[in-house]
Structure 1
């Protein structure tokens, strides 16, 4: 199509102006390429300006016939809506044909996370004194302590870390910065990695390679990429006693879920995660609902009366019956 340059320019816009990661950019471009292929194969349209309601409905029918998940279809429509919004803002199309397209009945999937015992198993799998083990330990500690995105960890530089104050300056999506504190476990793991492991790994840099100040490096001394981080986490799970799989975002979900489980308010979690809208953070309230319901049944008097098992649990609690007063001295 003659307008392929529009797609190229949109891809640059996502990275340069929207500050999206390269992986996110690639996902957008793949969805646009899928739609472009559809246009060529179904009617031979040679311009994005010719797309109307009929083409969109036919495209949705094809995606349904391919038995794609609702979430996948919704993501493709979202990518195309953003693409056409870009074209509309640059006066390349008159309007956005995807502006009002919504996928009804989209199933909401709760974020997957690790329980605290499972996190303990992961940390047990990264013990060791060699540079690789020290790096993996610091990586896992920082993910869990801050809830950072994988791209934020990959691009993290030494200047963003304050180990004395135990705080990290995170460069988030949309060029939005936020400060996130971390605890002494992450502090100790990072200090040991930076002192004992990172200098050793940097010695593996090829001669003539450009020096850098990225915090996490691979075994060749180069910046650790998002793909490399995902591979490391996968290897950690395989060495642990866990049977589940892992992806970096699960640690972000775990961070948020454990904060709420231990009493943090939703606004605090929103700020720490760098969510622009509170509605994005609210999905974690569904995750913690089971814990809230269990506490309700255990401690609320009316719930105890209706739930014999909960009532018996409370009776066994040492705080239910006050300690007896010592006998008066005679």
Structure 2
């Protein structure tokens, strides 16, 4: 074990100095690898040359049997792989026994979504005649009604709003331009804000910059609203319905999910959301299939027989 532990100290130094790992990250690696070395010791393995694939696979199995999450198991096996890779590089052993051990596949993480009822309850709570009230309602309606990212909402400019043709011109990741439809409640809220709320906020700018003059959503000083304000607004909105960690992206996920449930074509949705790769949308199709399964279970006459 002494040899193992010495090598572990060297590996952690390598992570900190050569790989630039933070002290917190290095400490996490230490805990994970100390657990691994303790397991090997319990198996009677005390020399680098004696560690084989079966030892690593048995360690992985022990983690699963502990009831640890897939993410935790993946992280610990990845740490073991990195440690053995370092041992090979330093000439302390000839092969990496962890390389051929399969890391558990990460479970698809379904995006958090609101129900249609939750969205309605949340938005109905944002009423008021103050300029900031009109702005906040418009932001929430646009995030949900158009599926925008927080950064796209912040970056929305006046010349990107076209009510006559019913679209917004936004700039997504990589400054890629796209056209997003706007209609219904989102359009009404944005129209009201631009007519009654934005002019009052714009007057508060002592010496407005060109960028502020171009912005759709303004802060209380008449400047372009920042992303943090969007995040704060989402949290405030979430508290209305008991979702205390609501993120702006949740409204985007909810938009996509509700569109699919309503029968939207997947390729149209891809264009609206600005996803370059169709595979990015597969998680939403999974959600939609879950919905169909629930509907089938509820409606099919022989499902419970």
Specify the alignment match of 1:218 in structure 2: 219
Q: Are the equivalent residues in 2 in contact too, given 1:138–1:193 (CA < 8 A)?
A: yes
Q: Deviations over 1:22-77 (max 9, x none)?
A: xxxxxxxxxxxxxxxx99961488666x9xxxxxxx99945856999939x98xx9
Check if 1:122 corresponds to 2:119: no
Q: Deviations over 1:134-154 (max 9, x none)?
A: 001111111111111110111
Check if 1:165 corresponds to 2:165: yes
Once the two structures are TM-superposed, the CA of residue 282 in structure 1 deviates from its matched residue by 0.7
Q: Determine helix, strand or coil for the equivalent of 2:180.
A: strand
Specify the alignment match of 1:314 in structure 2: none
Q: CA RMSD in A?
A: 3.3
Judged with a 3 Å threshold, the aligned counterparts in structure 2 of structure 1 residues 63 and 137 are, in CA distance, closer, same or farther, namely farther
Specify the alignment match of 1:233 in structure 2: 234
Specify the alignment match of 1:280 in structure 2: 280
Q: Are the equivalent residues in 2 in contact too, given 1:256–1:284 (CA < 8 A)?
A: yes
Q: How far apart in 2 are the matches of 1:59 and 1:68?
A: 20
Q: How far apart in 2 are the matches of 1:39 and 1:179?
A: 54
Q: Are the equivalent residues in 2 in contact too, given 1:39–1:45 (CA < 8 A)?
A: no
Q: Are the equivalent residues in 1 in contact too, given 2:141–2:185 (CA < 8 A)?
A: yes
Specify the alignment match of 2:146 in structure 1: 146
Judged with a 3 Å threshold, the aligned counterparts in structure 2 of structure 1 residues 272 and 44 are, in CA distance, closer, same or farther, namely closer
Q: Determine helix, strand or coil for the equivalent of 1:42.
A: helix
Q: How far apart in 2 are the matches of 1:119 and 1:274?
A: 22
Judged with a 3 Å threshold, the aligned counterparts in structure 2 of structure 1 residues 47 and 105 are, in CA distance, closer, same or farther, namely same
Q: How far apart in 1 are the matches of 2:151 and 2:268?
A: 22
Q: Deviations over 1:288-309 (max 9, x none)?
A: 223201333455xxx523435x
- State which drifts further: 261-270 or 246-255: 261-270
Specify the alignment match of 1:307 in structure 2: 304
In the superposition, the TM-score normalised over structure 2's length comes to 0.66
Judged with a 3 Å threshold, the aligned counterparts in structure 2 of structure 1 residues 65 and 220 are, in CA distance, closer, same or farther, namely farther
Unaligned runs of 5+ in 2: 1-8, 21-25, 35-67, 79-101
Q: How far apart in 1 are the matches of 2:182 and 2:158?
A: 15
Specify the alignment match of 1:42 in structure 2: 13
Judged with a 3 Å threshold, the aligned counterparts in structure 2 of structure 1 residues 305 and 108 are, in CA distance, closer, same or farther, namely closer
Q: Determine helix, strand or coil for the equivalent of 1:142.
A: helix
Q: Determine helix, strand or coil for the equivalent of 2:121.
A: helix
Q: Are the equivalent residues in 2 in contact too, given 1:40–1:46 (CA < 8 A)?
A: no
Q: Determine helix, strand or coil for the equivalent of 1:264.
A: coil
Specify the alignment match of 2:251 in structure 1: 251
Once the two structures are TM-superposed, the CA of residue 174 in structure 1 deviates from its matched residue by 2.1
Unaligned runs of 5+ in 1: 1-37, 51-57, 78-101, 309-330
Q: Determine helix, strand or coil for the equivalent of 2:169.
A: strand
Q: How far apart in 2 are the matches of 1:151 and 1:64?
A: 37
Judged with a 3 Å threshold, the aligned counterparts in structure 2 of structure 1 residues 152 and 204 are, in CA distance, closer, same or farther, namely same
Give aligned pairs, total: 231
Q: Deviations over 1:256-283 (max 9, x none)?
A: 0000111112222211111111111110
Q: How far apart in 2 are the matches of 1:219 and 1:140?
A: 17
